[in-house]
């Protein structure tokens, strides 16, 4: 009981500071670089703070200002692409996973165990197993460099984990409310839609957030399946800019654009992320 | 309200009545399964997984034994020919060795740092929510972005790492970190991935730590046990299943390392991983047969090592 109220000792404060520095420094460094002039960014020894902060790199990135000609361009389109692809895959993944997870968690049907384990087994499949065949399947049916193609591939990749998290969410819900609803004359489907889904909202939110972050971070699949200007997500464009001869200030500005969305999600919706990760990994 | 309740017993009894079996409105009755509905609910999932996960995996297994060259059709069965080719390829052999290093560094650093972070976060303190968000941040960022911002940190002419090491007099002049020495290159690229996946290990271990009953710690405190004994004798044994999960996750992710390698190492041999070798062989050299063979080999290695790791660590829990 003494333990619980103990104030933080100097050792733990130091440890926490080191952890915070380790987590934040690379992001801070990219932010600082993106707000520096090219000259200031390349000073030796380094300048720890942006002495004369400037947003010229961001202007150049979005096609304005004197350095625009050097920038890669296409970032606006790649932002639209990453949002469409990530949001599309998140919505589709959730729709399919939530419904199926409920059936696995609560309903009885033949082949249930076999189908459940077949789906869970694909959680262990590494990227290697599916990358090349998915490219060939998608090019055979003409879905390379299309939103539909990349959304289908993302969804198939995110489904097992989303289903597994939702399965655990449904198992943890009390059965009594559904039973009451059924006794009051609701069908299984009605009980699911009107009683279970509203109760499972926090779990659904956690799954959606984790799925969205997965989608935002995708790289090898879009690199192979959607690397045309019209469909490449920000991650693929960023790797392309990085390999060209573009000033580091602009590269770091592009990186900050890709960091902004997940960073906002982490700081605003952190609680759900922790729930989602924990629900997906325990057991 | 009252009316609905009064009527419960009747439908319930009918549901259990064997004579009512087969009545369409009572398909969820005991012993009956839930009729057609569950199949409709799992069908989309099964179609997705079947068509875009299981079918491609089967294709990988088959095509690894087929000679595929878009320039010289037709494709034909070659037995272990593709495997002979990949083992004859020095770049592939080095990528296998490199991936061993990636897995070693990735697992050791991720699990150690993750466990330390979890121990620091275990007890409540003011600002813990914000601290959790700070810890989770690197996990939420795309691997490519991390490669890009760390490549700037590692920059050999104006990078901050060189600057710090030089002002601490640890190096005499600026050095090239990536690409000059194999193990150093791998360690530094691995560190970027460790930065990304340590939060996952920390959260998994933290969840387990928080399920350890307080009484155990109180007992140890009464006995005057020093903190390192408490960690070794109480904490670690009880979080071992969580450590197993964290280890396997780190193992699978480090065996699959690609984004950080693509950005920091490109297609150089020095730091190539199996995944980057597979990518360049398949999509740059268009050698699909070898790409498939390497994919199958890597899949088998990943699955086997993951299963072995789970077995090893879990067994110790069951028979301490």
In CATH, what number is assigned to the domain containing residue B109?
A: 1.10.3720.10
Same domain, B24 and B85: no
Q: Are A23 and B137 in contact (CB < 8 Å)?
A: yes
Question: How many Cα atoms occupy the beta-carbon half-sphere of B238 within 13 Å?
Answer: 16
* Structure confidence at residue B139 (pLDDT): 95
* Structure confidence at residue B315 (pLDDT): 53
Contacts (Cβ under 8 Å, ≥6 apart) of A29 = B149, B152, B153, B160
Identify the H or E element spanning B66: strand B66-67
Contact by Cβ (8 Å): B189, B271: yes
- Give the residue from B51, B77, B103 where a domain finishes: B77
Domain ranges within chain A, ordered by starting residue: 2-61, 75-281
Same domain, B127 and B263: yes
| Interval B65-121: pLDDT, tens | 988 776 666 777 888 889 999 999 999 999 999 999 999 999 999 999 999 999 999
Same domain, B25 and B160: no
Q: Which A residues 233-252 touch B at CB under 8 Å?
A: 235-236, 238-239, 242-243, 248, 251-252
Same domain, B33 and B100: no
- Give the residue from B77, B102, B125 where a domain finishes: B77
Residue from the list A43, A107, A263 with its beta carbon closest to the beta carbon of B37: A107
Helices A75-106 and A234-243: crossing angle in degrees, nearest 10, is: 140
Residue with tokens 């499972």: A200
Cα first-last separation, chain A? 30
* Structure confidence at residue B258 (pLDDT): 96
Written as six digits, the tokens of A158 are 């995110």
Q: Beta strand pairing status for B76-77 and B66-67?
A: antiparallel
Helix (H, G, I), strand (E, B) or coil at B229: helix
* Structure confidence at residue B307 (pLDDT): 86
Same domain, B52 and B113: no
- Please state, in angstroms and rounded to a whole number, the distance separating the CA atoms of residues B287 and B278: 9
* Structure confidence at residue B19 (pLDDT): 41
CA of B220, closest CA in chain A: separation in Å?
Answer: 11
Same domain, B42 and B139: no
- Please state, in angstroms and rounded to a whole number, the distance separating the CA atoms of residues A278 and A227: 33
| Low-confidence spans in chain B with pLDDT less than 50 | 1-31, 317-320
Residue from the list A23, A97, A133 with its beta carbon closest to the beta carbon of B56: A133
- Please state, in angstroms and rounded to a whole number, the distance separating the CA atoms of residues A226 and A43: 38
* Structure confidence at residue B31 (pLDDT): 47
Among candidates B296, B258, B136, which has minimal Cα distance to A222? B258
Contact by Cβ (8 Å): B283, B258: no
Interchain contact B219–A (C-beta under 8 A): no
From chain A, pick out residues whose CB is under 8 angstroms from the CB of B12: 183
Helix (H, G, I), strand (E, B) or coil at B76: strand
Written as six digits, the tokens of B264 are 């920091």
Give pTM, 2 decimals: 0.88
* Structure confidence at residue B100 (pLDDT): 96
B65 burial class (0-12, 13-18, 19+ CB within 10 angstroms)? middle
- Give the residue from B77, B97, B126 where a domain finishes: B77
Same domain, B7 and B126: no
Tens-binned pLDDT, residue by residue, of chain A (283 aa): 444 545 678 888 999 999 999 999 999 999 999 999 888 888 888 889 888 888 888 988 887 766 665 555 688 899 999 999 999 999 999 999 999 999 999 999 989 999 999 998 888 888 889 999 999 999 999 999 999 999 999 999 999 999 999 999 999 898 888 888 888 888 889 999 999 999 999 999 999 999 999 999 999 999 999 988 899 999 999 999 888 888 899 999 999 999 999 999 999 988 888 888 777 664 4
- Please state, in angstroms and rounded to a whole number, the distance separating the CA atoms of residues A157 and A90: 11
Domains contained in chain B, number: 2
* Structure confidence at residue A276 (pLDDT): 81
Same domain, B55 and B100: no
Same domain, B7 and B148: no
Same domain, B66 and B164: no
Same domain, B93 and B44: no
* Structure confidence at residue B3 (pLDDT): 40
Contact by Cβ (8 Å): B4, A80: no
What domain range includes position B68? 2-77
- Please state, in angstroms and rounded to a whole number, the distance separating the CA atoms of residues A232 and A222: 7
For domain A75-281, give the CATH number. Answer: 1.10.3720.10
Contacts (Cβ under 8 Å, ≥6 apart) of A150 = A85, A89, A221, A222, A225, A226, A231
Residue with tokens 């104006």: B158
Q: Are A109 and B221 in contact (CB < 8 Å)?
A: no
Q: Which residues pair with B45 in a beta bridge?
A: none
Residue from the list A19, A42, A254 with its beta carbon closest to the beta carbon of B135: A19
Q: Which B residues 34-63 touch A at CB under 8 Å?
A: 34, 37-39, 41-42, 44-46, 48-49, 51-57, 59-60, 63
Alpha helices by DSSP H, listed for A107-247, are: 112-121, 127-140, 147-172, 176-183, 188-191, 197-199, 201-217, 220-225, 234-243
Same domain, B85 and B72: no
ipTM for this prediction: 0.91
* Structure confidence at residue B317 (pLDDT): 45
From chain B, pick out residues whose CB is under 8 angstroms from the CB of A103: 37-38, 41-42
- DSSP annotation of B210 reads T
Q: Residue B133: count other Cβ atoms within 10 Å of its Cβ.
A: 21
Q: Residue B66: count other Cβ atoms within 10 Å of its Cβ.
A: 18
């Amino acid at each position: 009981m003494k333990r619980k109220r103990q104030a933080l000792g100097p050792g733990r404060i130091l440890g926490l500071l080191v952890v915070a520095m380790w987590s934040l420094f690379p992001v801070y460094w990219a932010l600082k670089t993106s707000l520096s002039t090219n000259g200031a960014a390349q000073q030796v020894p380094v300048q720890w703070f942006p002495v004369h902060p400037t947003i010229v790199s961001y202007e150049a990135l979005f096609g304005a200002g004197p350095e625009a000609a050097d920038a890669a361009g296409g970032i606006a389109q790649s932002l639209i692409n990453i949002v469409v692809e990530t949001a599309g895959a998140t919505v589709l993944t959730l729709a399919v996973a939530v419904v199926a997870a409920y059936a696995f968690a609560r309903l009885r049907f033949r082949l249930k165990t076999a189908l459940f384990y077949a789906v869970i087994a694909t959680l262990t499949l590494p990227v290697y197993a599916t990358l090349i065949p998915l490219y060939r399947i998608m090019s055979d049916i003409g879905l390379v460099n299309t939103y539909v193609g990349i959304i289908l591939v993302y969804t198939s990749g995110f489904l097992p984990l989303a289903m597994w998290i939702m399965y655990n969410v449904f198992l943890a819900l009390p059965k009594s409310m559904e039973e009451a609803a059924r006794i009051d004359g609701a069908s299984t489907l009605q009980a699911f839609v009107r009683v279970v889904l509203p109760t499972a909202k926090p779990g659904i939110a956690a799954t959606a957030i984790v799925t969205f972050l997965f989608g935002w971070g995708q790289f090898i699949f879009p690199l192979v399946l959607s690397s045309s200007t019209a469909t490449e997500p920000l991650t693929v464009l960023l790797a392309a800019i990085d390999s060209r001869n573009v000033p580091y200030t602009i590269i770091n500005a592009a990186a900050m654009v890709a960091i902004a969305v997940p960073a906002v999600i982490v700081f605003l919706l952190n609680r759900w992320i922790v729930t989602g990760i924990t629900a997906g990994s325990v057991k | 309200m009252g009316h609905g309740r009064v009527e419960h017993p009747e439908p319930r009894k009918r549901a259990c009545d064997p004579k009512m079996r087969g009545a369409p409105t009572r398909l969820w009755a005991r012993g009956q399964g839930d009729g057609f509905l569950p199949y409709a609910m799992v069908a989309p999932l099964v179609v997705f997984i079947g068509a875009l996960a299981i079918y491609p995996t089967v294709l990988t297994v088959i095509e690894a034994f087929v000679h595929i060259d878009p320039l010289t059709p037709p494709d034909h069965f070659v037995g272990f020919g593709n495997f002979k080719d990949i083992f004859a390829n020095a770049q592939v052999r080095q990528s296998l060795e490199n991936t061993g290093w990636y897995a070693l560094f990735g697992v050791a650093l991720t699990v150690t740092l993750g466990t330390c972070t979890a121990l620091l976060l275990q007890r409540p303190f003011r600002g813990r929510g914000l601290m959790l968000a700070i810890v989770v941040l690197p996990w939420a960022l795309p691997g490519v972005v991390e490669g890009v911002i760390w490549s700037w940190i590692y920059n050999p002419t104006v990078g901050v790492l060189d600057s710090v090491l030089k002002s601490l007099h640890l190096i005499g002049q600026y050095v090239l970190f990536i690409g000059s020495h194999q193990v150093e290159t791998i360690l530094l690229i691995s560190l970027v991935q460790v930065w990304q996946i340590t939060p996952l290990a920390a959260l998994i271990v933290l969840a387990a730590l928080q399920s350890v009953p307080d009484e155990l710690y109180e007992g140890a405190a009464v006995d005057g046990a020093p903190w390192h004994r408490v960690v070794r004798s109480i904490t670690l044994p009880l979080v071992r299943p969580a450590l197993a999960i964290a280890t396997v996750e780190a193992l699978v992710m480090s065996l699959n390392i690609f984004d950080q390698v693509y950005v920091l190492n490109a297609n150089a041999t020095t730091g190539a991983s199996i995944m980057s070798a597979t990518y360049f062989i398949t999509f740059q050299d268009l050698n699909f047969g070898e790409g498939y063979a390497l994919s199958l080999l890597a899949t088998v290695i990943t699955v086997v090592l993951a299963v072995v790791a789970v077995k090893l660590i879990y067994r110790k829990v069951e028979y301490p």
